[in-house]
Amino acid sequence: MTDAFEPEIVAFCCHYCAYTAADMAGSKRISYPPNVKIIRVPCTGKVDAIHIMRAFEKGADGVYVAGCLEGDCHFKTGNIRAAHRVRRVQALLEEIGMEGGRVEMITMSAGMGERFAQTAREFTEKIRALGPSPIRDAIRQSGRRAAG
């Protein structure tokens, strides 16, 4: 394995906006970095802190929650709840000594294929600049220890 750092990013996308925007990016043939792995949820309000934390626990370098524009949530207020929850997870990450910026809330409308691809690129670059998550390093080391 080469040592070039490729960030692992999980994007929780709501079915009605961000996931459709990702679809739109696909139909418009707009490419976005393969670092971003999408998990579809019905609404960003469904994304629990435990889901985000599990992603980090498993070795994700960054996580973002992508939902509808404020006021456009299909379920009225799910995206606002998600934004609150993301802020709480940011505080939790800071508390355990990680950068809060590794998790972010992003909003877009269903038609914004270009914005979806652009945020995927920006977030990937941001995480690349932050470097690998300390948990990921720890996982790899413990893996080596187990193998050795």
Partner 1 sequence: MNAALLLADQGHRVYLVEREARLGGIAATVRTTLEGDDVGRYMSDLVETVQSHQKIQVLTQAIIVDHKGMPGRFTTGIQTGPRMHYMQVEHGVTILATGALANRPAQYLLGEDDRVLTQLDMDAKIEDDPESIRSMKQVVMIQCVGSREPGNPNCSRICCQSAIKNALRMKALNPDMQIYVLNRDIRTYGFQEDYYREARKQGVQFIRYEPDRRPAVRALENGLVVDAYDDILGCRLEISADAVVLSTGLIADDETTEDLSMLFHVPRSDDSYFLEDHIKLRPTDMSVRGFFLAGTAHAPKSIRESIAHGQSAAGRAMTMLAKHWINLGAAVARVDGAKCAACLICVRACPYNVPFINAEGYSEIDPAKCHGCGICAADCPARAIQLMQYEDDQILAKLDGLFERMN
Task: Compute the least distance from the CB of residue 134 to partner 1, in Å.
Answer: 14
Tokens of 97: 């000594």
Task: Compute the least distance from the CB of residue 8 to partner 1, in Å.
Answer: 7
What string of DSSP letters covers 66-135? EEPPTT--TTSSHHHHHHHHHHHHHHHHHHTTS-GGGEEEEE--TT-HHHHHHHHHHHHHHHHHH-S-HH
Task: Compute the least distance from the CB of residue 126 to partner 1, in Å.
Answer: 20
- The CA-CA-CA angle for residues 63, 117, 9, to 5°, reads 20
**Contacts to partner 1 by CB under 8 A:** 8, 10, 15-17, 20, 23-24, 27, 37, 39, 41-43, 45-48, 50-51, 54-55, 58-60, 71-72, 74-78, 81, 85, 109-114, 136, 139-140, 143
Task: Compute the least distance from the CB of residue 64 to partner 1, in Å.
Answer: 14
Strands 9-14 and 62-67: parallel
Q: How far apart are the first and last CA of the chain?
A: 17
Task: Compute the least distance from the CB of residue 97 to partner 1, in Å.
Answer: 21
What string of DSSP letters covers 108-120? --TT-HHHHHHHH
Nearer to partner 1, 104 or 113 (CB): 113
